[in-house]
Amino acid sequence: MSSVIGFANEEAAVMALSRLYRQYGFKHFKMSKFEEYDLYAQNKDFLLGSSVIAFTDTNGSLMALKPDVTLSIVKGSSDTFSEPEKVYYSENVYRVDKGTHRFKEIMQLGLECIGELGVYELSEVIMLAKKSLDAVCERNILDISHMGFLLGLLEGENLSEKKMNRIIDCIRSKNTLEMEERCKEFGVSFDAANALKVLTSIYGSFTKCVGELKAISLNESTDKAIKELESVYSFLESCGCADGVNLDFSIVNDLNYYNGVIFHGFVDGVPNAVLSGGRYDNLMRKFGKRSGAVGFAVYLDQLSRLMRSDEEYDVDVLLLYDESADLSLLAKTVGSLTNDGKSVRAQRHNGGSVKYRTLMKINGTEVETVETDD
């Protein structure tokens, strides 16, 4: 199967994916370009980078150009259980580019579901993440993990946050040797240490790896996490979205924010994740809210290298007219072509910068289609 990028440019991606999210009842969320600086300063670990562009407002308040959208959505959420808030967004965010190490304006697209979350709500968001990848490129992978399983393995081990993070680093880097050393150093029990070592190496299709998870499950918490993963995968199968879904427990996020299923999406030809998401109830708690929350973001800057920015044609028809051209005929010709679904650019001269399929000319009251070399 060949790799096909589904969008010609960023605008096309935003329109197509926004249409997908609206089909499932997600409403468009619009926000200001900036927020109070403290919102980001207090949640820097949640952001992809710690650098934020800040400025002083006319009233003396310290403000920041937004480096993230999720924090604003969570901050403004109603925290009601009567019905979930389902929103999607397409917003510019301002972050330091990894390549240039300079601030860059980046279009970010994503969605969030906030409220009383059941298996359906969770599965629907993950299904939309997979559908987003499918729309971008035929060859894609959605890697799924579960923070609850990891935390379940460490239940009763009495590890400090620092030691927990050292173990998480070993899982993230798939370093089984260092994992063994850290478990011995921290006094982790034999069963938990063995399970963590196996977990570090688990990667592959869901059907292949779920058995490996069950073999190292230690308690009710880990069993519950497996059951939730199985429910999500069953849902994806029912929707025809299970192809390319893998288990990968090297995907681990900050324990202060994420608690359940987390996932990364990859497409052929891009070395980094183009989609990232998960369940972040712990972030809601930091804002004093009881609701659950799950969502994801699509990083269009990662996809930009694969988009067909150099389209074959700028317009279907380049329509040239001279001083003698009948204005009414010009208007009718443009109208007729656009009504037929063609794109038209009307101008007096052809400077060579416009790429077109068909060249037409109007001289006085005559309309002529000009034969051009392919």
Q: What is the pTM of this model?
A: 0.80
Sort 223 into a burial class: Cβ within 10 Å, 0-12 / 13-18 / 19+. Answer: middle
pLDDT at 249 over 70: yes
> What's the first-to-final CA gap in the chain, in angstroms?
30
For 342-373, how does the pLDDT look when each residue is reduced to its tens digit (9 = 90+)?
A: 999 999 998 888 889 899 999 899 899 987 65
Tokens of 84: 């979930």
The one-letter amino acid at 152 = G
Contact of 294 with 274, CB cutoff 8 Å: no
Per-residue DSSP letters for 308-360? --S-S-SEEEEEEE-TT--HHHHHHHHHHHHHTT--EEEES---S---EEEEE
DSSP H/E element including 226: helix 220-238
For 49-61, how does the pLDDT look when each residue is reduced to its tens digit (9 = 90+)?
A: 668 889 899 899 9
Q: Residue 129: how many CB atoms within 10 A of its CB?
A: 27
For 124-170, how does the pLDDT look when each residue is reduced to its tens digit (9 = 90+)?
A: 999 999 999 999 888 999 999 999 999 999 999 999 989 999 999 99
Q: Which residue from 39, 48, 58, 51 is spatially nearest to 286, judged by alpha carbons? A: 39
What's residue 209's pLDDT?
95
Task: Tell me the C-alpha distance between 276 and 246, whole Å.
Answer: 14
What's residue 35's pLDDT?
87
Q: Angle 155-161-167 (CA atoms, 0-180°, nearest 5)? A: 70
For 209-247, how does the pLDDT look when each residue is reduced to its tens digit (9 = 90+)?
A: 999 999 999 999 999 999 999 999 999 999 999 999 999
What's residue 305's pLDDT?
63
Task: Tell me the C-alpha distance between 131 and 35, whole Å.
Answer: 31
